[in-house]
Amino acid sequence: MSDPRSDAEISRDIAHQAGQLLLQIRRDFFAEHGEVQDKETANKLRDAADAASNDLILDFLAAARPSDAVLSEEAKDDEARLDSDRVWIVDPLDGTWEYGQNRRDFAVHVALWAGGELHACSVDLPAQELARTVLDSTSELTLDSSRPVRIVASRSRPPATLDATCAALARILRETGINEHGVEIVDVGSVGAKVNEILSGRADAYVHDTGFYEWDVAAPYGVARHYGLECSNIVGEPITFNHMPPYVNNLVVAHPMLYPHLMNALSEASAT
């Protein structure tokens, strides 16, 4: 190890530095161009920021952990990682669309897959001045029963059975006396930002069934588990990483009190 910091500290620091770089790039871009109206100009910002953040992360890891493999959205994949004992899984800019819209719900994801488990997971939300990492202290999670249960889902690719799932879950929660206010759907960008909505108490679960890549999922998954949320695929199995291709078919993240009822609702909705 070339850097005396722990893996978790490396993860936290690298995600923070990348996040601050993303903010600076966006500030400079908008100072020069003003509010961007056309997609082509916004995409130039997104592409430049993605590349710069990726370069920072790769340089940081090359200096701090030179023997480790890296799987990054913005770098060429190398099958040699499949035989590596330690693989960093990073997304230099998750929520690129939201970033280009000057929104706050984008993130930097950094996680380490080692020994068949996730370690050193960090989700940095620079525009929210917030980081969620496995170094954070945690407390018992509470479920707010004074409002509707809120499920976070993809704006552009929501589950096909989402409405049916929400209806089934609302009925199950009403029948069990857990919540009588129904179920709402919440729109948030990055996967890391979605998980943060749950950790911040503004939402209670996240469901996705149309697939995404390991760099979208690894760090938020590890952070969610650290905080005590239940995480699995849509049939209740744990998600593993460092595969070829690096693809995750579906994901469920939920408050532990809500999780078994959500899984029953998902099963019911898929059977109809």
Which stretches within the chain are classed as H helix?
A: 7-33, 39-64, 96-100, 162-175, 191-199, 214-226, 259-271
Of 84, 77, 71, 61, give the one whose Cα is nearest residue 214: 71
- How much is the pLDDT for 36? 67
- How much is the pLDDT for 2? 75
Give per-residue pLDDT as tens, 144-202. Answer: 999 999 999 988 788 889 999 999 999 999 999 999 999 999 989 899 999 999 999 99
| Long-range CB contact pairs, 127-130, < 8 A, 24+ | 127/23, 127/103, 128/104, 128/193, 128/196, 130/196
Of 166, 43, 145, 33, give the one whose Cα is nearest residue 99: 43
Confidence band for 213, pLDDT divided at 50, 70 and 90: very high
What are the structural domains, with CATH classification, of the chain? 7-133 (3.30.540.10), 149-271 (3.40.190.80)
- How much is the pLDDT for 1? 63
Using DSSP's 3-state secondary structure scheme, residue 19 falls into helix
Of 256, 254, 229, give the one whose Cα is nearest residue 165: 254
Taking residues 71-93, what's their average pLDDT?
96
Give per-residue pLDDT as tens, 9-40. Answer: 999 999 999 999 999 999 999 888 887 667 88
Give per-residue pLDDT as tens, 197-210. Answer: 999 999 999 999 99
User: Which residues, in sequence order, are CB contacts of 27 under 8 Å at separation 6+?
Assistant: none
- How much is the pLDDT for 34? 80
Taking residues 53-60, what's their average pLDDT?
98
Q: Is residue 106 pLDDT above 70, yes or no?
A: yes
Q: Is residue 72 pLDDT above 90, yes or no?
A: yes
Half-sphere exposure for 176 (CA within 13 Å, toward CB): 16
What does the alpha-carbon distance between residue 109 and residue 125 come to, in Å, rounded to a whole number?
A: 9
User: Which residues, in sequence order, are CB contacts of 236 under 8 Å at separation 6+?
Assistant: 263
Give per-residue pLDDT as tens, 226-247. Answer: 999 999 999 999 999 999 999 9
The mean pLDDT of the chain is: 95
Q: Are 86 and 68 in contact (CB under 8 A)?
A: yes
Q: Is residue 126 pLDDT above 70, yes or no?
A: yes
Q: Could you give the percent of the chain with pLDDT greater than 70?
A: 99
Q: CA gyration radius for the chain? A: 19
- How much is the pLDDT for 154? 86
Q: Could you give the percent of the chain with pLDDT greater than 90?
A: 87
